[in-house]
Amino acid sequence: MKYLIILNIALITLFSCRNGEEVKPTFPNTPKECPQIVEEQNAPLVVSFREVEAVPYWDTSNDTTQERTRGIRNNNPSNIKRGANWVGLDTMHTDSTYCQFVSMEYGVRALIKVMLNYDAKGINTPKTIIERFASGRASYISYISIQTNTGIAEPFDYSNTDKFYLLCKAICNFESGYYLDRQTFNNAYSMIEL
C-alpha cells in the first residue's frame, strides 16, 4: 500500500509538472519540484539525472547517541556485516549483525578495503559494486551513479582518490546518513596497510 501511494504521488508530480501546473504535495517530505525535463513537452519524456542536486546529508553534530543511526553508533557508516576480523573492531560488541569499530576512521577503512578488494576482482561499475555490496537495489545504484557522476555501467576509476572519496561518501550517506568528510576519508585511506 505504501508503495502504491508513493507511485501515485510520483505520477501526479510528474504529469502535473509536465503540464506546467504547480504541484502541492499533501504528504510531508515529498518533492515539491519535478525533475528537470530535457526535451520539448510534446516529445517523449526524458529526465536528466545528471542535473539532480545531491541529497543533503544528515547533520550529526548535535545528535545524542540514541538519535543516531545504527551505522553511526557503531562507527560503521557503510553497515558492513560481522564476519571478517577487521583492524579496529571494538572489543565490546553489542550488535549481533554489524561490525562495531573503535572510531569512524576504522569503519571507513573497512569500506575502503572492501572497495579495493572489489576492484581487484573486476567489480568496478556502480551497478556491479552495489549488486555485490547491497543486493543491487535500483535506487541505490542510481544514487551512487548520480553522486559520483559515473554512468551505471561505466567502469569506476579507483585510482582517482577524488572519485573514490565520492564513492565512499555516497555509500556512507545512503547506508547510514553519515556525511563522510574528506579528512576522515584521508585518515582512513592512510591506514589501509594496517
Quote the pLDDT of residue 84.
Answer: 87
| Single-letter residue type at 111 | L
Domain total in the chain: 2
Tell me the three cell numbers of residue 143: 544514487
Quote the pLDDT of residue 1.
Answer: 46
Close Cβ partners of 186 (under 8 Å, ≥ 6 residues apart): none
Quote the pLDDT of residue 135.
Answer: 83
Do residues 136 and 163 share a domain? Answer: yes
Quote the pLDDT of residue 4.
Answer: 45
* Helix boundaries (H) for the chain: 2-18, 70-73, 104-120, 126-134, 138-148, 161-176, 182-190
Close Cβ partners of 36 (under 8 Å, ≥ 6 residues apart): 47, 48, 51, 52
Quote the pLDDT of residue 64.
Answer: 54
Grid-cell match 548520480, residue found:
146
Q: Is residue 59 part of a domain?
A: no
* Helix boundaries (H) for 19-125: 70-73, 104-120
Do residues 46 and 135 share a domain? Answer: no
Q: Is 143 helix (H, G, I), strand (E, B) or coil?
A: helix
Do residues 11 and 84 share a domain? Answer: no
Query: What is the residue range of 44's domain?
Result: 2-51
Do residues 146 and 169 share a domain? Answer: yes
Do residues 72 and 167 share a domain? Answer: yes
Do residues 152 and 81 share a domain? Answer: yes
Residue 180 phi, psi dihedral angles, 5° rounding: -80, 110
**What is the chain's pLDDT, residue by residue, as a tens digit (194 residues)?**
444 444 444 544 444 444 454 444 444 443 444 444 444 444 444 444 445 454 444 455 555 544 689 999 999 999 999 988 999 999 888 999 999 999 999 999 999 999 999 999 999 999 999 999 998 789 999 999 999 999 999 999 999 999 999 999 999 999 999 999 999 999 999 999 87
Quote the pLDDT of residue 152.
Answer: 94
Q: Is residue 45 part of a domain?
A: yes
Do residues 42 and 123 share a domain? Answer: no
pTM (two decimals):
0.67
